Structure 1
Amino acid sequence: MNDLNKSTQDFAAQWEQARFSVERVRKELGRVIVGQTEAQEQLLISLLCRGHCLIVGVPGLAKTLLISTLAKVLGLKFNRIQFTPDLMPTDIVGSEILQTAEGGSTRRFEYTHGPIFANLILADEINRTPPKTQAALLEAMQEKQVTVAGVTRRLEEPFLVFATQNPVEHEGTYPLPEAQLDRFFFELRMNYPSLDEEALVVRQTTGRSEPSASAVLDAAGTMHLQSVAVEVPLPENVLQSILRLTHATRPSSELADDYVKKYVEWGSGPRASQNLARAARALALLRGQPSASIEEVRAVARPVLRHRIIPNYQATGDGITTEDIVTHLLKKLG
C-alpha cells in the first residue's frame, strides 16, 4: 500500500510539473502567434503523443511561423524541407559522396546527413513531390530511421514531422494515398484569422521589430512531457466510447447506422482508436484534467478521423464530406 501511495504521489508531482511546463510553452507561443488557438492546441497534442501531423491550409496563415516557433520554444532542432517536383529521396535522407583525401592518393565514400536529421521537420507542400520522394519521408516517419547504402541510421529523438498541404491548388500535385495518410496522427485544418486577430497580426509584423519567443524546454524536457501524457488515466467508459465511435465509421460494422452505410466507402481502422485514446489523454493534460473524458474525445475526433474516413460516390454526388460524416457520428457519441 505504501508503494502504491508513493507511486501515486510521484505521478501527481510529475503531472504538476508537466502542467507548469505546458503553460510556459503556451505563453511563449502566444507572444508570437496571434489567434489559431485550436491549431496551437492540436499541434501540442501531436507533440505530446509523438504523432506526425498533416496541416491543411491556404498560404499565408503562418503555418511555417507556428511550427518554427514551437521548435524554438521547445529547444528542438528544426529543419524545413520545401517539397518540389524535382526533389529526390537523397535530398531528404542524405547520400554518400566520394571524397578525396589530401594529396589525392585515396578516395572513399562519406555519408552526408540530409535535413531529415532534426527533431522537428516541416515538410512544406508534401503533395508537390513525386510518390518515390514522399515514400522516403514516410518511411522515416514510421521507422524513425533511414537506410542509405545498406547502412541504417537512427533519427534523433524526439522526432516529429509536420507536413503542409494547400487545399486550393491541385495542378501538378501528387495526392497522398489513403494508406500513407493514415500514418499521420492528425489532419489539422487552419482557417483564416478573425478581423481583430488579423488587425493584431498587422500591427505586430509591420513595425520596426517583431515579437520573438524564448526556449523554455529542451529535447529531454519535451520527452518527459511525452512520457507523462501516456500515464494520464483513461477510464473504461471513455475507452468504450472510443471503440463505439471508431466501429460506427465502418459500413460493415453492426454499430454503423444507415447514414454511414449510405455514404461511407471505408471507415477508420484500429489506428484511429489508438490515436483517439492517446490524443484524449494528451488533451486532458493540456486542460489540467486528472483523467481523460468523453469531452476530450469529442474535441480530438475530427483531426483523428477526417483523413481516415473515405466517402463513397453517393456522398460525393450528394455533397456529403468527411466533416459532415464526423459531425453525424459525434451527435451519437455517448
Structure 2
Amino acid sequence: MQEELHKVIVGQETVIDQILAAIFTGGHCLLVGVPGLAKTLLVSTIAQILDVTFKRVQFTPDLMPSDITGTNVLEESEDGRRNFRFVQGPIFANVVLADEINRTPPKTQAALLQAMQEREITAGQETFALPEPFFVIATQNPIEQEGTYPLPEAQLDRFMFNIKVDYPSLDEEERILSSTTGAETQPVRKVLSAKAITYLQKQIRQIEIAPLTINYVARLVRATRPQDEMSPKFVKDLVDWGAGPRAGQYLIAGGKAVAAMDGRPSVSVEDIRKVAIPVLRHRISTNFQAQAEGLATEDVIERLLTEVPEPEIPKYGKS
C-alpha cells in the first residue's frame, strides 16, 4: 500500500502510516492542514488502491443532513399505488471523504455522528446498516475562520486520529514540482479488498498487550485531566479538560496497528507513545494561560510523555 501511495504522494510518511493504522483498526481520521498539501488527493488515492466503494462529499454552508444520509422519495407503482422509497446518500460507502467538514453548519455535521459511532443510519422509522468496512476521513483547513463552523467536542471525539498535514521539505517539494508538471503519471493498482481489510482488523485486535502497558495507557489518559489527583501540576495550570476513556481505547488500538505493521506480535510502550499525539491532540483543551504562554496541545502531550513514568519491566533471575 505504501509503495502504491508513493507513486502519487511525495513524502508524508507519518501521515500515511497514521491513516493506515486507522484503517486497519476501523477508526476515522481528521486531516488538518492548509490548502494545497494533497489531503484530498491522498484520500482519493487510498480509495483507488483499496477495492472498496468511495464517495466524496464537499461540505458547504447550504448542505443538508439528507444530502449525506439519503432521503425518502415518493414513487408511484404501475398499479397506481404510491410508496416511499429510501434513496441512499453518499454515506453508504466503505470510504467517505468529508471534504472541508468545518464549512457546514452543526446540524449537517451531526448527520455523521450516528454513522461514525454505530455504523448505521436512521431515516424515518427505519435503520440501515452501513457497509463494512466503513471509514470517514475528513479534511479541515485550520487557517480560515470566516464562514466556518468548528466541530463540537462530541464529534471530534469520534475521530481516532487528528492528523496534522505539514508542509513538505525542500527535497520533497522539488520532487512534487517535477512529478506533477511532467507528461506522464503513474497509475496505481488495487492491492487490498474490503474482505481482506475486515480480516486484518480482526487479526490486529488479537495482538497482545501486557497489563503493565494497559496500566501505562490508563495513567497517561488520566494525567490529562486537571481534576484527577494523578495529573501533574502543569496540567492543572494549563488544561481546562482532558481526554475520556475513548482516548485509551484508541491508544491501545493504534498501538496494536503500529505493532502489526512493524511485524511484532505484542504492543510496546513505544507504540503507544508513537500514536499519543494524534490520539490526544483533539481531546485536550488548553486554557487561556497556556495560550498566553504560547503553548499548544502538542506541547502539553509531549511534556506528559516525559513526566508520566513508563512501566518497570520485572527482572527475573537465572533459572
Please tell me the TM-score bracket, short chain as reference: over 0.9
Runs of at least 4 residues off by over 4 Å: none
Q: Give the one of 155, 163, 166 matched to 2:130.
A: 155
Matched, 1:142 2:114: no
For 1:222-237, what aligned pairs fall within 5 Å after superposition? Answer: 222-237=197-212
In structure 1, the partner of 2:31 is: 55
- 2:24 aligned partner, one-letter code: L
Q: Give the one of 2, 5, 9 matched to 1:33.
A: 9
Matched, 1:46 2:46: no
Q: Give the % identical residues.
A: 51
Cα deviation code 1:256-291 (max 9, x no counterpart)? 111111001111111111111111011011112221
- 2:297 aligned partner, one-letter code: T
Which segment drifts farther, 198-207 or 83-92?
Answer: 198-207
Q: Give the one of 32, 47, 51 matched to 1:75.
A: 51
- 2:18 aligned partner, one-letter code: Q
**Cα distance in 1, alignment partners of residues 215 and 176 from structure 2:** 43
In structure 1, the partner of 2:61 is: 85
For 1:283-322, what aligned pairs fall within 5 Å after superposition? Answer: 283-322=258-297
**Cα distance in 2, alignment partners of residues 277 and 99 from structure 1:** 48
In structure 2, the partner of 1:330 is: 305
Tell me how far 1:317 sits from its aligned partner: 2.2
Q: Give the one of 139, 143, 168 matched to 2:143.
A: 168
**Cα distance in 2, alignment partners of residues 34 and 231 from structure 1:** 33
Cα deviation code 1:92-141 (max 9, x no counterpart)? 011111223458x3433222110001000000111111111101112211
Q: Which 5+ residue runs of structure 1 have no aligned equivalent? A: 1-24
Asked if the contact 1:52–1:141 (Cα under 8 Å) also holds between the matched residues in 2, the reply is: yes
Tell me how far 1:212 sits from its aligned partner: 2.1
Tell me how far 1:313 sits from its aligned partner: 2.1
In structure 2, the partner of 1:282 is: 257
- 1:150 aligned partner, one-letter code: Q
For 1:230-245, what aligned pairs fall within 5 Å after superposition? Answer: 230-245=205-220
Q: Give the one of 104, 108, 117 matched to 1:129.
A: 104
In structure 2, the partner of 1:247 is: 222
Matched, 1:185 2:160: yes
Tell me how far 1:49 sits from its aligned partner: 1.2
Cα deviation code 1:192-234 (max 9, x no counterpart)? 1111111111222212221221001110001111111111111
In structure 2, the partner of 1:66 is: 42
Cα deviation code 1:40-67 (max 9, x no counterpart)? 0000111111111111011111111111
SS in 2 for 1:308: coil
Q: Give the one of 207, 220, 236 matched to 2:182.
A: 207
SS in 1 for 2:87: strand
Matched, 1:107 2:82: yes
Structure number having the greater helix percentage:
1
**Cα distance in 2, alignment partners of residues 288 and 278 from structure 1:** 15
Which segment drifts farther, 284-293 or 118-127?
Answer: 284-293
Which segment drifts farther, 225-234 or 299-308?
Answer: 225-234
**Cα distance in 1, alignment partners of residues 293 and 167 from structure 2:** 27
Summarize the Cα distance change of 1:204–1:102 in structure 2 as closer, same or farther, 3 Å threshold. Answer: farther
In structure 1, the partner of 2:316 is: none
**Cα distance in 1, alignment partners of residues 205 and 70 from structure 2:** 33
Q: Give the one of 211, 226, 238 matched to 1:263.
A: 238
Asked if the contact 1:48–1:226 (Cα under 8 Å) also holds between the matched residues in 2, the reply is: yes
Tell me how far 1:81 sits from its aligned partner: 0.3
